[in-house]
Amino acid sequence: MITRLTASLESIEHSAIPVAALIPEASPFVIEAMLPAYLAQRLEPKVGTPITLHTRTILEAQGQGTSFIPRLIGFGSSDERAFFETFTSVKGLGNKKALRALAEEPGTIAGFIVSKDAKALTKLPEIGKRLAETIIAELSGKIDKFATDLVSDPDQPRPVPSSTIEPLLTEGPIAEAVAALVALGETRTDAIRKVERASAKLGQDPSADTLISAVFAGV
């Protein structure tokens, strides 16, 4: 079983489930790995360079299940793979459905589950209201560590844990930025998540206006 693979990223085919074409060093073979959408976006700038994927092998049924084809799924870290394995333990959430659902970083989705934000989960592809409620019910208490432990990329800042930002939500620039986003129609959970991301990226105590501008700029 292949659990980790380092190879040159030749291309990413963007479809319902993105597929990466990988060429191991000094090898005549091309290996395909399915990717969750969040990882395909993260890896796009790295086409043509060596990358390392932490992988999981599955057997994909063909026809009426009379034959199976081995498929490789790639993740950015062993923690991201562990999150996927926990996520797919939910009844009704198979491998392909889960891959399509992972349009957001695992740490973000784990945060939705921990905060029991079913509305945020339903914004993910493939996740309806009933499945969102099932995910929250079945993963309650099992997913908490992923909300703060996952690092989406070594080159990106670690999200600010809720334990450090929650005290700042009563007053000051962060509270003002969150309140402004909520007034503009964001859910409180989404507003906090976006302000956390902007604050971690900007650093140096940015003003509320700077935080809001950064959120709208997609920082």
User: DSSP per residue over 96-146, as a string?
Assistant: HHHHHH--S-HHHHHHHHHTT-HHHHTTSTT--HHHHHHHHHHHTTTSTTH
Provide the pLDDT for residue 162.
Answer: 41
| pLDDT bucket at 23, cuts 50 / 70 / 90 | very high
| pLDDT bucket at 149, cuts 50 / 70 / 90 | low
Does the pTM surpass 0.75? The reply is: no
Amino acid at 169: L
Q: Is the pLDDT of residue 133 over 90?
A: yes
Share of the chain above pLDDT 70, in %: 86
- In words, the CATH class of domain 157-219 is mainly alpha
Q: Is the pLDDT of residue 168 over 90?
A: no
Provide the pLDDT for residue 125.
Answer: 92
Provide the 3-class DSSP secondary structure of residue 1. Answer: coil
Give yes or no for a contact between 143 and 114, defined as CB atoms under 8 angstroms apart: yes
Radius of gyration (C-alpha) of the chain in whole angstroms: 19
- Tell me the domain boundaries of the chain: 4-78, 157-219
Which residues, in sequence order, are CB contacts of 48 under 8 Å at separation 6+? Answer: 8, 9, 10
Provide the pLDDT for residue 150.
Answer: 56
User: Average per-residue pLDDT in the chain?
Assistant: 83
Q: Say how far apart CA 172 and CA 170 lie, in whole Å.
A: 7
Provide the pLDDT for residue 65.
Answer: 59
**In this structure, how many other beta carbons lie within 10 angstroms of the beta carbon of residue 143?**
21
